[in-house]
């Protein structure tokens, strides 16, 4: 199972960008604890060091829906701004959303068509004599790169694969960003008064009550055990 998740400050101020960075750290820690694989496919840095406007992750694993149940929605941080000392606001909200109907690009070298050509411009004895340059085309997206850095055709081919993948992913990220802007109006509808998680303080202490079935069952067992002990 795969899911595309975005953690975003939206149109929030610098404080919200700081919260995104802190939430990301906690989010990644829990992913590791639950043996869920992840890949950060895009991140937009904030206006100050150690802040993020948004980050998009691809998650891979079992029971993702169950894991995300306690994450998707609005997240609140309660604390005073470290950027604006006189700001009286104490509640800062960010959003965590699943990006649906977004098709991931499956980049496969089998989908590349290679063509050789003579190098152009200055470049030594092989220029205009030997076909050492390589033009690589990604057939599904029709993106193309031309590489003539080396006198070795094999080396140019290797470099063309790397650059073509970077170019294809760059185009995909641009498409993804447009999708994010389109869905932002929907994201703004998240109820700020009912966050799925709450943190507080500069140490980002969790104020989250685990309401999972496993947790509640454990609490009930302890209560029953204590109840029986009273009658022994």
Q: What would the pLDDT profile of 132-180 be if each residue is shown by its tens digit? A: 899 999 998 899 999 998 888 999 999 999 999 988 888 877 777 777 6
Q: What is d(CA 16, CA 26) in angstroms, rounded to the nearest whole number?
A: 15
Q: What is d(CA 229, CA 30) in angstroms, rounded to the nearest whole number?
A: 36
Alpha helices in 34-152 (DSSP H): 64-68
- Least confident residue range of 67-71, 136-140, 210-214, 217-221: 210-214
Q: What is the pLDDT of residues 176-201, one digit of tens each?
A: 777 766 666 555 554 566 788 999 88
Tokens describing residue 218: 């454990």
Q: Report phi then psi at 88, rounded to 5.
A: -85, -10
Task: Check residue 97 and give its pLDDT.
Answer: 87
Q: What is d(CA 181, CA 149) in angstroms, rounded to the nearest whole number?
A: 38
Q: What is the pLDDT of residues 100-113, one digit of tens each?
A: 766 667 788 899 99
Q: What letter would DSSP give residue 63?
A: S
* pLDDT cut 70: percent of the chain above it: 75
Q: What is d(CA 222, CA 42) in angstroms, rounded to the nearest whole number?
A: 44
Task: Check residue 193 and give its pLDDT.
Answer: 65
Q: Report phi then psi at 95, rounded to 5.
A: -125, 145
C-alpha distances in Å from residue 187, one per residue of 6, 22, 94, 101: 11, 20, 10, 15
pTM of the full structure: 0.63
Read off the pLDDT of each residue in 44-71 and give the average, rounded to a whole number: 89
Mean pLDDT for the chain overall = 80
Task: Check residue 121 and give its pLDDT.
Answer: 63
Does the pLDDT value for residue 14 go beyond 60?
Answer: yes
Residue 230 burial (CB < 10 Å; 0-12/13-18/19+)? exposed
């Amino acid at each position: 199972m795969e899911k595309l998740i975005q953690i975003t400050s939206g149109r929030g101020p610098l404080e919200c960008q700081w919260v995104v960075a802190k939430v990301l750290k906690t989010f990644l820690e829990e992913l590791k604890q639950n043996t869920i694989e992840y890949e950060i496919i895009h991140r937009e840095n904030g206006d100050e060091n150690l802040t993020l406007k948004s980050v998009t992750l691809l998650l891979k694993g079992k029971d993702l829906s169950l894991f995300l149940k306690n994450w998707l929605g609005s997240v609140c941080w309660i604390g005073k701004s470290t950027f604006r000392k006189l700001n009286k606001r104490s509640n800062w909200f960010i959003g965590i959303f699943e990006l649906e109907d977004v098709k991931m690009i499956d980049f496969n070298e089998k989908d590349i068509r290679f063509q050789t050509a003579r190098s152009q411009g200055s470049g030594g004895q092989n220029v205009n004599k030997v076909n050492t340059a390589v033009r690589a085309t990604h057939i599904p997206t029709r993106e193309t790169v031309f590489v003539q850095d080396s006198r070795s055709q094999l080396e140019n081919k290797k470099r063309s694969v790397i650059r073509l993948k970077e170019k294809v992913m760059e185009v995909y990220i641009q498409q993804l960003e447009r999708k994010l802007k389109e869905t932002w109006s929907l994201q703004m509808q998240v109820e700020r008064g009912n966050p799925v998680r709450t943190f507080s303080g500069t140490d980002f202490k969790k104020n989250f009550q685990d309401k999972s079935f496993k947790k509640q069952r454990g609490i009930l067992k302890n209560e029953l055990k204590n109840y029986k002990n009273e009658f022994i």
